[in-house]
């Protein structure tokens, strides 16, 4: 049965790039963000509940979810963010269980659950080890502002809604510093790939140094 590695990190830390690098070495993976998009597609119960609560202001003309409009609502109101999580997280979890079961039965030595909310949504209970992708906050702010076309204050506000960096690092079994070069990232992925291939599911050796 494949070992499951939970890969997480703050916004704009490079989680998907790191995951693709692992995939190139043969590791299957599922991205919780992709699953989160699946559960709010037209025809899904979660989208109907969201539309009932917020109305057409969160829908595009074709009936799909206007993710930016919804993000603006929930980032401005903690109660609304918690409501959205209650409507979507159980459904996301159910689908992730299905994806991970397929990875565990695939014959691969390990696979990845890529999730920005690995700890916050308790998805860490679904994995054998937690790998945190870490970058300095200043780099997070710059990347987020450039990627999402927001200003620095908005980028910092998004980061502030996530688990604090030091808390995330404290809960890591392994850490990948992604604030340097691509070559350095690839070397660290290769090291971790060798480590994970030598582990047995359910075994959690001493955590990596931060």
Question: pLDDT value at position 202?
Answer: 58
How do the pLDDT tens digits run along the chain, 210 residues long?
A: 899 999 999 999 999 999 999 999 999 999 999 999 999 999 999 999 999 999 999 999 999 999 999 999 998 899 999 999 999 999 999 999 999 999 999 999 999 999 999 998 889 999 999 999 999 999 999 998 988 888 888 889 888 888 999 999 999 999 999 999 999 999 999 999 999 999 966 555 444 433
Q: What is the DSSP letter of 180?
A: S
Which of 95, 78, 91, 98 has its CA nearest to residue 47?
Answer: 91
140 Cβ neighbours under 8 A, 6+ residues apart = 10, 11, 12, 13, 155, 159
Q: What residues have CB less than 8 Å from 46, skipping those under 6 apart?
A: 39, 40, 87, 88, 91
Rounded Cα–Cα distance for residues 13 and 10 (Å): 6
User: Of all residues in the chain, what percent are helix, strand and coil, respectively (each to 5)?
Assistant: 55, 15, 30
Nearest to 133 by CA among 187, 189, 56: 189
**68-93 as b/e, with b when 16 or more CB fall inside 10 Å?**
eebeebbeeeeeeeeebeebbbebbb
pTM: 0.86
Q: What pLDDT is attached to residue 204?
A: 52
């Amino acid at each position: 049965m494949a070992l499951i590695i939970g890969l997480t990190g703050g916004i704009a830390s490079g989680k998907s790039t790191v995951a693709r690098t692992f995939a190139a070495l043969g590791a299957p993976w599922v991205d919780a963000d992709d699953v989160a998009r699946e559960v709010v597609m037209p025809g899904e119960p979660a989208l109907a509940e969201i539309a009932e609560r917020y109305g057409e202001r969160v829908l595009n003309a074709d009936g799909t979810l206007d993710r930016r409009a919804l993000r603006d609502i929930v980032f401005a109101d903690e109660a609304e963010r918690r409501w959205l999580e209650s409507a979507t997280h159980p459904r996301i979890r159910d689908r992730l269980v299905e994806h991970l079961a397929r990875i565990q039965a695939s014959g691969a030595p390990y696979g990845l659950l890529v999730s920005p909310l690995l700890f916050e949504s308790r998805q860490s209970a679904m994995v054998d080890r937690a790998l945190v992708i870490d970058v300095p906050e200043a780099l997070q702010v710059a990347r987020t502002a450039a990627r999402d076309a927001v200003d620095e204050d908005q980028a910092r506000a998004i980061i502030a809604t996530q688990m604090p960096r030091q808390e995330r690092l404290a809960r890591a079994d392994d850490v990948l510093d992604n604030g340097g070069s691509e070559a350095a990232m690839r070397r660290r992925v290769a090291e971790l790939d060798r480590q994970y291939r030598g582990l047995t599911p359910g075994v959690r050796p001493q955590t990596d140094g931060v």
